[in-house]
């Protein structure tokens, strides 16, 4: 019986296609109008949903790479961030922590999701999305606000807290979308039973 393809078993052509598609998805989500709630320095956007989806569907390696490609295109000047922003200047602004956090969050979401293996389960997926896409992403965002917006850690946390209810909603949406994608596309997640059999086979007698 064939073993499902996992994030740890690369297929270069397929991987490149998936990375390109999800970089495009994150860029497309930038077309959703950004909101500067209460005059905040960092706009609220839909692109963090794309970050969670990249990790939850592609896994840690491909998910993070999709966001690295996206940020490279932004750095080259393409206006792919919400509000049509792009160029190296955005990496010197108050949102730099969130931008750097995009691939890191995708990596964490993907690692936790793929560690659980197939079939995709909503509670596990939701937990992975919250840890990576809410906690980790906002933690890095708070660090960026502290360094680039001259805010105290407490003030930076208060500014970031505006994002968190929406981020939790995105985490739920991502979990349902990811469940549908994994159900329709078997093989993206490694089978837990496959790995268990391998571990037993490799164990010393």
Taking only the tens place, the pLDDT of each residue in 52-74 is 999 999 999 999 999 999 999 99
Instruction: Note whether 65 and 20 are within 8 A (CB).
Output: no
pLDDT of residue 143: 96
Could you give the percent of the chain with pLDDT greater than 90?
Answer: 71
Per-residue pLDDT band for 201 (boundaries 50, 70, 90) equals low
* Contact partners, residue 52, CB within 8 Å, separation at least 6: 105, 106, 109, 129, 132, 133, 170, 171, 174
Which whole-number Å values give the CA distances from 196 to 32, 61, 117, 191, 201, in the listed order?
43, 22, 11, 9, 9
Domains of the chain (ranges, CATH numbers): 12-195 (1.10.1760.20)
- What CA–CA distance (Å, rounded) separates 201 from 198? 5
pLDDT at 193 over 70: no
Q: What is the mean pLDDT of residues 12-33?
A: 92
Which of 13-17, 91-95, 177-181 is most confident?
177-181
Q: What is the mean pLDDT of residues 170-185?
A: 96
pLDDT at 196 over 50: no
148: nearest Cα among 100, 108, 110: 100
56: nearest Cα among 8, 105, 109: 109
Could you give the percent of the chain with pLDDT greater than 70?
Answer: 82
* Rounded to 5°, angle at Cα 45 from 116 and 91: 95
Instruction: Note whether 62 and 109 are within 8 A (CB).
Output: no
pLDDT at 192 over 80: no
Instruction: Note whether 129 and 105 are within 8 A (CB).
Output: no
Average pLDDT in the chain: 87
pLDDT of residue 7: 53
**This prediction's pTM:** 0.84
């Amino acid at each position: 019986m064939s073993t499902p393809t996992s994030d740890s078993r690369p297929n270069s052509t397929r991987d490149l296609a998936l990375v390109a598609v999800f970089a495009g998805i994150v860029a497309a989500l930038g077309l959703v109008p950004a909101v500067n709630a209460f005059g905040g320095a960092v706009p609220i956007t839909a692109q963090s949903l794309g970050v969670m989806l990249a990790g939850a569907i592609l896994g840690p390696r491909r998910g993070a790479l999709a966001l690295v490609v996206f940020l490279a295109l932004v750095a080259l000047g393409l206006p792919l961030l919400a509000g049509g922003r792009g160029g190296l200047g955005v990496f010197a602004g108050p949102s730099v922590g969130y931008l750097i956090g995009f691939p890191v969050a995708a990596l964490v979401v993907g690692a936790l999701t793929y560690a659980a293996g197939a079939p995709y389960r909503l509670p596990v997926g939701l937990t992975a999305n919250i840890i990576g896409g809410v906690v980790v992403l906002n933690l890095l965002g708070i660090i960026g606000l502290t360094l680039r917006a001259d805010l105290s850690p407490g003030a930076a946390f208060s500014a970031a807290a505006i994002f968190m209810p929406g981020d939790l909603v995105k985490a739920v949406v991502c979990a349902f979308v990811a469940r549908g994608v994994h159900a329709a596309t078997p093989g993206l997640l490694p089978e837990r039973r496959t790995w268990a059999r391998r571990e037993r086979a490799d164990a010393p007698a």
